[in-house]
Structure 1
Amino acid sequence: MLTSSLVLGAAEHATPHFNGGDILFQLAMFLILLALLKKFAWGPLMGIMTEREEHIAGEIEAAEKSRAEAAKNLEEQRQLLKQARQEASGLIENARKQGDVQRDEIITIARAESERIKEAAKLEIETQKEKAVAAIREQVASLSVMIASKVIEKELSAADQEKLINDYIQEAGERR
């Protein structure tokens, strides 16, 4: 029985009862805590958040400036590359033209030299031809003189005369 009275006594205490003082005290403590949080936590927290927001905005602005600068540098590099290509193309064209001019000059000089050599060779050939003709005339004259002197020395028959001419021609050929 004792246990059942304890159980009944505990049941009486277990019934909820409404205590207005505790609620007001808890409400006041909550409002004080809220004011303290606003003053000491919310203000600095909002300051940190504002500072973070400004920092992020500054980073975004710096990134935009960097991107714009990179785009500007890229465009400058493209322009420089385009200009370098144009200059290289101009240099190649000038070199080609200069090469064509030099080639034409070399061909002209070579043709002139060829003509000069050809003319010199013709002159040399003509000179040698004249010398050969002069030498033949001298030999013919010398043979004629020798034949005439032999004829004068003795009267020859046609066969003897032909043999004599052939002997002198052979003898003149051996002297050369």
Structure 2
Amino acid sequence: MKVLNSTLFAAEDAAEPNPLLPETYDIVWSAVIVVIIAVVFTRYVLPKFQAVLDERSAQIEGGIKKAEQAQAQADKAVEEQERLLVEARTEAAQVREEARAEGAAIIKELKAKANDEAARITETAHRQIEAERQSASVSLRSEVGALATDLASKIVGESLEDSARQSRVVDRFLDELDAAEGAVPAGSSKEA
């Protein structure tokens, strides 16, 4: 039975066309239409696609070039900003250094002025002290002279009211006192 069935199918196949294969005229006309569509596509559609693709690639390349230029400009701007920042820092350091030097000069000048003022005040004080000492010395001479003259008059018993004589006695007495002070060392009078 198997053999019989396979012979039957083989016989049927030879007589009937294959349903999976189209007829020859369908194949020919389909090939003609495909060729026409291919010619139209390659002649009209494909160049337009190619033009659009070329335009897009040109835009992309132009965009890339613009981006590269923008990046280069940005890099230059960053370098310029860094250079300006370094210059500003250098200038700020110079200004600080100049301010320090100026401050030191001002301080030195003020110290010198203060020292000069102190020296002037000290000199004025010394002059004033010297003037007061001389004034006190003159006043003391006259008072000591009067007292010494009175005392000497009482001791001697003779009047020394003559002004010339009185002044000679007082001057001689004060000179002797000064000479005695000069002869005795200053440290020895305190120790004794």
Q: TM-score, normalised by structure 2?
A: 0.64
- The residue type paired with residue 67 of structure 2 is A
One-letter amino acid of the structure 2 residue matched with residue 41 of structure 1: V
Q: Which amino acid aligns with 1:23?
A: I
Q: CA deviation at 1:13?
A: 8.8
Letter in 2 for 1:90: Q
In structure 1, C-alpha distance between the alignment counterparts of 2:89 and 2:56, rounded to whole Å: 48
Greater shift in the superposed pair: 35-44 or 117-126: 35-44
Distance 1:21 1:107, change over 3 A: same
Partners of 2:143 and 2:86 in 1: CA distance: 84
**Equivalent of 2:90 in 67, 86, 92:** 86
Structure 2 CA distance for partners of 1:135 and 1:48, relative to 1, 3 Å: same
Deviation at 1:40, TM superposition (A): 2.9
Q: Deviations over 1:13-59 (max 9, x none)?
A: 99526411111101111111122222332111110000000000000
Give distance in 1, aligned partners of 2:18 and 2:152: 184
Q: 1:32 aligns with which of 8, 33, 36?
A: 36
Q: Which residue of 2 aligns with 1:97?
A: 101
Give me the TM-score of the superposition, normalised by structure 1. 0.70
Aligned to 1:111: 115
Match of 1:133 in 2: 137
RMSD of the alignment, in Å? 2.5
1:65 to 64, 69, 73: 69
SS of 1:138's equivalent in the other structure is helix
AA paired with 1:101?
A: A
Letter of the structure 1 residue corresponding to residue 101 of structure 2: K
* Number of corresponding residues: 142
- How big is the shift at 1:145? 5.6
Identity of counterpart residues, as a percentage? 30
Find the residue that maps to 2:91 and give its secondary structure: helix
Determine the C-alpha separation between the residues in 1 that align with 2:61 and 2:90.
Answer: 43
CA distance in 2, matches of 1:31, 1:23: 12
Task: Work out the CA distance in 1 between the residues paired with 2:17 and 2:25.
Answer: 19
Alignment match, 1:7: none
The corresponding residue for 2:12 is none
- 2:36 is matched by which residue type in structure 1? I
Q: Work out the CA distance in 1 between the residues paired with 2:73 and 2:18.
A: 75
Moved >4 Å (runs of 4+): 12-15, 144-152
Unaligned runs of 5+ in 2: 1-14, 158-192
Greater RCO, CA 8 A, separation 6+: 1
The amino acid that maps onto 1:40 is Y
